Amino acid sequence: MITGRITQVILTLTLLPVAGVVLQMLFYGLSLSIPAYTLAIFISFLLMERNELLKDPLTLLNSRAQMESRLQYKLKAREPFTAVMIDVNDFKKINDIYGHTVGDKVLKDVSRILLSSANFEDFVCRFGGDEFFVILESADDIGYSYTKRVDQALLEYCSNKSYSISLSYGHLYVDHSVEYEVEELVRTTDQLMYKDKITGRH
C-alpha cells in the first residue's frame, strides 16, 4: 500500500464558480498518513461532481448555472452581446406520440445543431426542459443569421424523420444602453420567445 505522510494538505476545488462557492478541504496533522490511492479516488469523485454541476447531464451542454455566471460577468464587464432564448415547439407531442426515449434523442440532436451552428466563442446551454439559451459574442444582426443557420440545419435533420421540429426564438441585443440584472435579462428574452411562438411564425 502506498501511503503519503501529509503534514498539511490544502485541497481547493471550485464546485460552483458561478456563486463563488469554494469547497476547501483541510487535512492537518503532523503524523497523518493517508493511502495515496484513497485520496486519488476521493479527488476523482469530487471532480466528477464538479463536472456534473458545469454540464447538463442529458445534452452535455453548459448548465444553467454556468449561463448565469457568464451573463453576470458580461453585464459587469459591460461587453455587448446577443442573448437568445430558444424553445422546441410542441415538444410534448413528440414525447406523447413517440415516447420519452425519442424525446431525449430530439433534445440531444437539437443541442448538437445549436452548438454546431454557433461560433467557437459563443455559449450554448440547456436552460431547462425543452428550452435553451445562447450567448452570441458578436452578432450585428441580433443573432438572426445564427437562428437561420439553426433552422436550415433542422430542415435537413427532419428530412428523413417521421416528425418535424421547429423552434421559437427570443432575441435580445445587449449594448448596455439599458441596464439589466441577470434575472431581468433572462425574463425579457423568455417573453420575446413567447411572442415569437404566439405569432405562429413556425
pLDDT tens-digit readout, 71-109: 999 999 998 999 999 999 999 999 999 999 999 999 999
d(CA 174, CA 40): 44
Query: Is residue 144 assigned to a domain?
Result: yes
Q: Are residues 41 and 136 in the same domain?
A: no
Q: Are residues 76 and 176 in the same domain?
A: yes
Q: Are residues 25 and 70 in the same domain?
A: no
Query: Is residue 45 assigned to a domain?
Result: yes
d(CA 20, CA 152): 39
Of 36, 54, 72, which one is at a domain's C-terminal end?
A: 54
d(CA 62, CA 54): 6
Residue 64, C-beta contacts closer than 8 angstroms, at least 6 positions apart? 56, 125, 126, 127, 128, 133
State the pLDDT at residue 154.
97
Query: Is residue 59 assigned to a domain?
Result: no
Q: Are residues 75 and 44 in the same domain?
A: no
pLDDT tens-digit readout, 148-185: 999 999 999 999 999 999 999 999 999 888 899 999 99
d(CA 44, CA 38): 10
Q: Are residues 138 and 76 in the same domain?
A: yes
Question: What is the grid cell recorded at 174?
Answer: 445587449
Q: How confident is the model at residue 24 (pLDDT cuts 50, 70, 90)?
A: very low
State the pLDDT at residue 54.
78
Q: Are residues 109 and 18 in the same domain?
A: no
Of 34, 54, 74, which one is at a domain's C-terminal end?
A: 54
Q: Are residues 80 and 19 in the same domain?
A: no
Q: Are residues 120 and 168 in the same domain?
A: yes
Angle at 72 (CA atoms; ends 69, 78), nearest 5 degrees: 140
Q: For cell 439589466, name the residue.
A: 180
Q: Are residues 44 and 70 in the same domain?
A: no
What domain count does the chain have? 2
Q: Are residues 94 and 177 in the same domain?
A: yes
Q: Tell me phi and psi for residue 64, to 5 degrees.
A: -65, -35
d(CA 136, CA 168): 17
Q: Are residues 47 and 68 in the same domain?
A: no
State the pLDDT at residue 34.
55
CATH of the domain at 70: 3.30.70.270
Q: Are residues 74 and 168 in the same domain?
A: yes
Supply the pTM of this predicted model.
0.74
Q: Are 202 and 167 contacting, i.e. CB atoms less than 8 angstroms apart?
A: yes
Q: How confident is the model at residue 15 (pLDDT cuts 50, 70, 90)?
A: very low
Query: Is residue 161 assigned to a domain?
Result: yes
State the pLDDT at residue 33.
53
pLDDT tens-digit readout, 31-76: 445 555 554 454 444 444 444 457 999 999 999 999 999 999 999 9
Query: Is residue 20 assigned to a domain?
Result: yes
Query: Is residue 34 assigned to a domain?
Result: yes
What's the mean pLDDT in 133-162? 91
What's the mean pLDDT in 142-150? 92
> Domain span at residue 104?
64-198
